[in-house]
Every structure is written in structure tokens, then in C-alpha cells.
Amino acid sequence: MIKPVGSDTLQPLFVYDPDEHHTLSHEAESLPSVVISSQAAGNAVMMGAGYFNPLKGFMNVADAMGAAETMTLTDGSFFPVPVMCMIDSAAAIGTAKRIALRDPNVEGNPVLAVMDIKAIEQVSEEQMRVMTEKVYRTTDPEHPGVAAFNSQGRTAISGPIQVLNFSYFITDFPDTFRTAVEIRNEIAERGWKKIVAFQTRNPMHLAHEELCHMAMDRLGCDGLVIHMLLGKLKPGDIPAPVRDAAIRKMVELYFPPNSAMVTGYGFDMLYAGPREAVLHAYFRQNMGATHFIIGRDHAGVGDYYGAFDAQTIFDDEVPAGALEIQVFKADHTAWSKKLNKVVMMCEAPDHQKEDFVLLSGTKVREMLGNGIAPPKEFSRPEVAQILINYYQSLN
């Protein structure tokens, strides 16, 4: 199986030993504590689950700036985005060297992790501007990722962490949330050697489904891991439970047995386009995938990124040898009226725009809200019915 990034074996930060977990949980209740941001909580979950291997905890400002500017930490290791814990004030910490980090997304703010503090630093507005610009390629406050990143405090606390739970993900999505450890174990149990991963924050239309089949066929893969984001999205995006149901129905009906796993991970979407594509590839390698599909405008939002920036960044900016996972570069896929099948648009040079079945997201939402299924060339009817039920429930 492919090695994790930066180590021979996966080193998740979750405390799995029951006795140690009990002792640490008891200690945490007596420690000074801070409620962290949702973005920091997602970072803790990803470290606990092994996806951010081999990070040991939250980055200090120097490492965060290195990740933002060159994707290289001060020790020379590779990481594509800052992983920070920024709070409004360190007053509650005082002189403590060990604190509890509390979950902002669960009622009662239970302890999510325990941190050994190595540094408490102020992040300047110039440093925030540089990190924002480098990671998101914009400082526009209307960009949802920029808004979330900059809404955090300016006091960065850093140091190694021990993770005690996986926030709401394991309770709200018990059939879908999986750690990188669990996915690696299941890949081994299934006997898969070559695995392609597909990222989604939306239900999968027919074009997405066919793109997965194309990648599996062309790469000669044993299996597909559909890996959906379960964390916070921007307003208007379809909730994770609805997306989960739609994807599971598609896999049940249209994929051969033992060819696809439906899984999810606990993280808030960054909408960082190219840089987030690199992060996605990073943690897909950690979960055991050998290949990763990156299509048009991957992890993008609005008009902030070029259609294929999320592909070219791997050639132009990712340091050589940083990742072993291979990228399957895909164009936009759509149903060809001429060929009566889904194709990559770049592979149909004799086609005009009107030769494809193309529907805007706005048009699809309008149809679903009115109880009308999109054409079968766009969406599987069984999937469309799940989405119709959801949109009509909003009325």
C-alpha cells in the first residue's frame, strides 16, 4: 500500500488506548480551556484521524507562513496550507503550558483535544494578508474561505495535541465518517492495490458518476473511494445527510459490488481552489489512495480561479517528490447528444456547446424545487428523487 506522507506508517493523533484516553479526559476537565474556531476544530479532527500525517499539532506562525508561501515548513517538510489554532484572547490560558481545546460545534463545548503549548504569538494583519493571499489567491472578504479564515482571532496558540473525540462527525454520520486509519484498513481487507479517490461536497450527477468509471477504467483501479466533506459549507449547499443518501443510492444501483466505498471526513470546506486541491491530494495519500481525480474548477467558488488551476499547481508549484499520489486530470464531463454517452468535453473536438446536455446549478435547483427531475442524461432518476424530496421539504 502507498506510504503516508512523511512517514512509513500512519501516526494519527487520536488517543486510542482506553486507559490513556480515560486518564487524559479526566485531566482535561481540570485544565485551563479555550473554545476554538470551527476551522481549528476541523484541523484537530483531521490530525486525530491521521489525514494530516505527520503533523503533531497546530503550527506556529513561522511554520504557517512557510506553508502559505512555499508549502514548506521550517524543518523542510511539506504541507500545503497553514494549520492554525487562532483565538481572540489568551487570557484564560495565563501561564499554563497544557490546556484543553473545546469544540465550538457541539452543545456544551466538550473537550476535543489537549494541547501542550509551545508558543503563544500575535498574528499581524500583514501576516494574515500574506497567508490569505497565498492560500486563497484573493483577499476578497466575499470569498467564503477568506471570510472564515479571517473571522478567527489573531492570537495563535501552537504545539502538539492529543485528540479525544471526532466532534459531531462520528455521531451525526456514523455510517459515513471514517478516519484515514479505517479507510486504509478497509482497502487492505478488500484487497485493493490501485485506488482512485473522488472528492465531493455535492450530490453526484451522471457526469460525476461516469467520470469515476472513466478514471477506474483508464487507470486500471481495483476500487474507488468516494470521499465526501461532512463539515461546514457555504449557505445554499446541500446538507451532508441528503448528499450522503443520494450518493449511496447511486453506488448501490450503478457500481459493481466491491468496487466503491462511500466515506466522509470531518473538515470545513476552504473553497481555496488550487491550494485546496493539493491539500485534498495530501490527505487522500494518507488514507491509502494511489490516484486522485481533479476536474475542472476543483474546490473552487465563484470566479476566483481558472478552470484548470487546480491541476497545473501540481506541475508548477508542488515541490518535486512531495507527494506519491498521482493526479488523474479530468475535463468537464457531460452527456453528448451526438454519441449518446457521457464524455470529457476536451475529447469531443467536433462538438459545439449545444451538442451537450448542460444545466446550470440554478436551473437544476429550480427544477428540483418544482418537483421536476432533470433529464436522465443529467441525473439518475433515483438520485433526482432524493433531491426533489429535500428541496420540496424547504417550501
CATH code of the domain containing 117: 3.10.400.10
Distance, in Å, from the CA atom of 188 to the CA atom of 190, rounded to the nearest integer, reads: 5
Share of the chain above pLDDT 70, in %: 100
Distance, in Å, from the CA atom of 92 to the CA atom of 75, rounded to the nearest integer, reads: 31
Distance, in Å, from the CA atom of 339 to the CA atom of 47, rounded to the nearest integer, reads: 46
| Domain finish residue from 167, 193, 211 | 167
> Could you confirm whether 201 is annotated as catalytic?
yes
Same-domain check for residues 203 and 61? no
Question: Is residue 8, in this structure, part of any structural domain at all?
Answer: no
Catalytic residue among 109, 154, 190, 202: 202
Question: Is residue 24, in this structure, part of any structural domain at all?
Answer: yes
Q: Which tens digit of pLDDT belongs to each residue from 254-293?
A: 999 999 999 999 999 999 999 999 999 999 999 999 999 9
Question: Is residue 99, in this structure, part of any structural domain at all?
Answer: yes
Same-domain check for residues 342 and 200? yes
Question: Is residue 12, in this structure, part of any structural domain at all?
Answer: no
> What would the mean pLDDT of 71-85 be, rounded to a whole number?
98
**pLDDT of 321:** 94
Q: What is the SS3 assignment for 63?
A: helix
Same-domain check for residues 349 and 229? yes
Question: Is residue 2, in this structure, part of any structural domain at all?
Answer: no
Assess contact for 1 and 281: CB atoms under 8 A.
Answer: no
Same-domain check for residues 68 and 110? yes
**pLDDT of 62:** 98
Tell me how many domains the chain contains. Answer: 2
One-letter amino acid identity for 268?
A: D
Same-domain check for residues 47 and 140? yes
Distance, in Å, from the CA atom of 335 to the CA atom of 267, rounded to the nearest integer, reads: 32
Instruction: Give the N- to C-terminal CA distance of the chain in Å, as an integer.
Output: 48
Residue 362 has pLDDT above 90, yes or no: no
Assess contact for 10 and 184: CB atoms under 8 A.
Answer: yes
Catalytic residue among 98, 154, 201, 365: 201
Instruction: For residue 313, give every residue at least 6 positions away whose Cβ sits within 8 Å of its Cβ, in sequence order, or none.
Output: 274, 275, 277, 278
Tell me what the pLDDT averaged over the chain comes to.
95
Same-domain check for residues 284 and 193? yes
| Domain finish residue from 167, 188, 214 | 167
Assess contact for 114 and 96: CB atoms under 8 A.
Answer: no
Q: How confident is the model at residue 240 (pLDDT cuts 50, 70, 90)?
A: confident
> What would the mean pLDDT of 132-139 be, rounded to a whole number?
98
Assess contact for 57 and 172: CB atoms under 8 A.
Answer: no
**pLDDT of 273:** 96
**pLDDT of 86:** 98
Kindly give the pairing relationship between strand 260-265 and strand 291-294.
Answer: unpaired
**pLDDT of 156:** 98
Same-domain check for residues 239 and 376? yes
Distance, in Å, from the CA atom of 35 to the CA atom of 92, rounded to the nearest integer, reads: 10
Question: Is residue 389, in this structure, part of any structural domain at all?
Answer: yes
Q: The C-alpha cell of 83 is what?
A: 494549520
**pLDDT of 134:** 98
**pLDDT of 73:** 98
Same-domain check for residues 251 and 363? yes
Domain span at residue 44 reads 18-167
Question: Is residue 163, in this structure, part of any structural domain at all?
Answer: yes
> Could you confirm whether 109 is annotated as catalytic?
no
| Domain finish residue from 130, 148, 167 | 167
**Entry field: residues in the chain:** 395
Distance, in Å, from the CA atom of 355 to the CA atom of 314, rounded to the nearest integer, reads: 32
Helices 309-316 and 274-286: angle between axes, nearest 10 degrees? 70
Question: Is residue 4, in this structure, part of any structural domain at all?
Answer: no
Same-domain check for residues 151 and 201? no
Q: Is the peptide bond before 104 cis (omega within 30 degrees of 0)?
A: no
Q: How confident is the model at residue 125 (pLDDT cuts 50, 70, 90)?
A: very high
Same-domain check for residues 275 and 345? yes
Same-domain check for residues 70 and 181? no
Q: The C-alpha cell of 293 is what?
A: 481525480
**pLDDT of 234:** 72
